[in-house]
Amino acid sequence: MNNIIKITKSMGQSLWLDSISREMINSGEIENLINAGISGITSNPTIFDKAIGQSNVYDSALIEYSKTSENTEEIFEKLAIDDIKNAANLLSKTYQYSNFNDGYVSIEVSPKHANDPEATIKQAERLWNKINKPNVMIKVPGTNEGFIAVKTLISKGINVNITLLFSVDQYEKTAYAYLDGLTEFAKSGLGATSSVCSVASFFISRIDTAVDNLLDENSQLRGKIGISNAKIAYDKYKKIFDKNLYGEGSFFPLYSTGAKVQKPLWASTSVKNPDYDNNLYLNNLVGEETINTIPLETFNNFSLSGKPNNSLIENIDQAEENINLLSKQGIKFDDITNQLLQDGIKAFSDSYDSLLKKINEKLSKLKS
């Protein structure tokens, strides 16, 4: 485990855990993973749905919080904040030692607000203030309305993890929302630009699953579009955040004040197709100033048989040609990425509803 983390870190990539639960925190499992080199944690409604629904460790807190509130969303928020605070404390040394470039834990706003920037901003500010930890990121879905919220939140000095990114166009909007917000923050005098951090969570395997379903079984494009799309996005990242490019519209003026780049984060990197190498995405998405966030089971497999390489910056022309070939076959890639965004929001919304239902059911049983 430690060796695979050392290899990826030597190539400039951080590995974050795509899982959290009170049981993992209380047992010392999270701390052991951090000691082994895991340098961040992400959460979402699906993760909390499993954590709270499949464990009794939250029961006493459920009872306690239900005494002061009958609102299920408020009760869940308190449970989640407790876990995020504890995880942030465990990652505080990583945060300090990395000069505030790593060691973050993310918590997501309600997916119900994905198309409501005002509601997103309001909840994000509430979570940020209640958690009150500098190494926390608020996750905001990458919708057009979400980008409005991102700009506002960054301008207030709130760290943001933009999630559910599938297209390069979405990624560009994410990057510029961050830069525009950071420019406003720099002018506001609220603090140093170096205190603000953001990542752009680009989803991978879901793209291959969707595209492969439309391709012939013998197509040479099967299992290649997810990585090709990530390579193009990373190439775009390198150009937008070029620290050596001077002039109007460049990142250099902000960089010279200590501003951080908005690192690309590869999400959904567990392989869905059993015919593909289990480490397909982990091996081929390693690059400078990137993050890979992975579930524990996927990480364990990677630590045993992973062979990470530096191919992320190679064959960009071929990656672009792969995307173009889809169009020649009548496959509209933009339609696929748009649908994946909507499906992702729905999946998280369904998990959120399931989570609230489980909390109500648990409280009913515990009280009786």
Residues annotated as catalytic (active site), given as ranges: 139
Nearest by Cα to 63 from 79, 49, 77, 47: 79
Nearest by Cα to 130 from 70, 88, 161: 88
Tokens describing residue 233: 């996005």
Give backbone dihedrals phi and psi of 21, rounded to 5 degrees, phi first: -160, 160
How many helices (H) and strands (E) the chain has is answered by: 17, 8
Neighbours of 81 (CB within 10 A): 17
Tokens describing residue 58: 């939250």
Tokens describing residue 258: 């200590």
How many angstroms from the chain centroid is the CA of residue 307?
23
Tokens describing residue 346: 């729905």
Taking phi over 0 as left and psi of -120 to 50 as alpha, with beta for the rest, 216 belongs to: beta
Tokens describing residue 68: 């002061």
Long-range residue pairs from 46-50, CB within 8 A, at least 24 positions apart, any chain: 46/347, 46/348, 46/351, 47/18, 47/19, 47/20, 47/21, 48/20, 48/76, 48/79, 48/80, 48/351, 48/355, 49/351, 49/352, 49/354, 49/355, 49/358, 50/21
| d(C-alpha 336, C-alpha 210), whole Å | 7
Q: Give 3-state DSSP helix, strand, coil % of the chain, rounded to 5.
A: 60, 10, 30
Rg over CA atoms, the chain: 20
> Three-state secondary structure along 16-61?
EECCCCHHHHHCCHHHHHHHHCCCEECCCHHHHHHHHHCCCCCHHH
